[in-house]
Amino acid sequence: MIIDINFVGLIIASIMASAVPLILASCGELITERSGVLNLGVEGMMIIGAISGFALMTVTGSLIIAIFGAMLAGVLISTIFAFLTQTLITNHVATGLALTIFGIGISAMIGKNFVGIPGKEFPVLFEGLKDTLPLLGPILFGHSIVFYFAFTLPFVTSYFLKKTKIGLIVRAVGDSPESASNQGINVRLVRYACILYGGAMSGLAGAYLSMIYTPQWIENMTGGRGWIALALVVFSTWNPIKILIGAMIFGGLTIIQFHMQAIGVRIPVQFLTALPYIVTIIVLVVISRDSRKIRLSTPSSLGKSFYKDN
């Protein structure tokens, strides 16, 4: 059997493409969690982004409006979460769950009129360069702008957290809101900003799914990706670069599943579909087993409400 080197390149490229929504949502949630807020509503924000992007694209015809509109929708829906958890001091876990249930309902409600409408073609960059390099050509070239953005994001996020002053403030707020507050930092404001940013990234992740990856609207099309994104943040031990690795593993599982079906491997299709979820559990167990390592890397105030008398 001759393995076509360009075919390998195409498979890697397709793995990367399926990793994009995970990277976007995880990097967003990572910033939120670094500020000490646990937002379990990623799945809900993502699906809202997916329907908003697709609906805006269909109605306005503009891809730019659709992409930014989806991010804005993510911001708007996460504002509910921010207002509840930060201003009304509600429980993060329960509020996040409510956000997911609400998001899935609202998206299906809006999406009713958009089922079965074909999507639009999303422009890709450097299409012509695809055949110039063996193997690397299909990996590096011929992708959407969101794709390139996603693969830059972990590095930018890492730089932001480690090297910039605002990044330091975010970490300080997450690790010790009391001392940050004593230093004159407005903890609530920082957390608001981080939650809204997480919403924007989840919205973008959703828009990528409905506009670029599988350009159409299907109910519940995120299919648990938001939850896997949450698991990836734990997997990465809150380190953005490791999100990249994790997302590639999960992207790989999704793609392998298609190829195994295509070459007729006699494993029930349900088992292959269940694989990413089962692997998530196994990976979580392996990562979390070392409780000291987890405790050291988890933002100390994660999921705890902060209230200051004024």
Residues 6, 14, 79, 90: which binds another protein (CB under 8 A)? 90
Stretch binding another protein (CB under 8 A), from 19-27, 106-114, 153-161, 242-250: 106-114
- Residue 212 per-residue DSSP state: I
Q: How far is the CB of 185 from another protein (least distance, A)?
A: 22
Look at residues 94, 77, 162 and name the one whose alpha carbon lies nearest to residue 305: 94
Residue 296 burial class via C-beta count within 10 angstroms: exposed 0-12, middle 13-18, buried 19 and up: exposed
Residue whose pair of structure tokens reads 């029930």 in the numeric block = 268
Indicate which single residue of 11, 72, 97, 145 sits in contact with another protein (rule: CB under 8 A).
Answer: 97
> Rule CB under 8 A: which of 37-56 touch another protein?
40
Q: Which is nearer to another protein, 93 or 125 (CB)?
A: 93
168 lines the binding site for another protein (CB under 8 A):
no
Give start and end residues of each alpha helix (H) in the chain: 5-34, 42-60, 63-82, 92-111, 136-140, 145-163, 165-175, 177-182, 187-208, 225-235, 240-262, 269-288, 291-297
Confirm or reject binding of residue 274 to another protein (CB under 8 A). Answer: yes
Region near another protein per CB under 8 A, out of 13-21, 95-103, 136-144, 161-169: 95-103
Residue from 5, 7, 64, 105 touching another protein (CB under 8 A): that is 105
The answer to whether the beta carbons of residues 41 and 81 sit under 8 Å apart is yes
Nearer to another protein, 263 or 285 (CB): 285
Residue 267 as a binder of another protein (CB under 8 A): the answer is: no
| Residue 72: exposure state from Cβ atoms within 10 A (0-12, 13-18, ≥19) | middle
Rounded Cα distance between 254 and 280, Å, is 12
Neighbours of 22 (CB within 10 A): 26
Options 9, 21, 103, 251; binder of another protein; rule CB under 8 A: 103
Residue 227 CA to residue 289 CA, distance in Å, equals 20
Nearer to another protein, 4 or 309 (CB): 309
Q: Does 109 bind another protein (CB under 8 A)?
A: yes
Which residues are at the interface with another protein (CB under 8 A)?
40, 80, 84, 88-91, 93-95, 97-99, 101-106, 108-109, 112, 224, 227, 230-231, 234, 268, 270-271, 273-274, 277-278, 280-281, 284-285, 288-289, 291, 294, 309
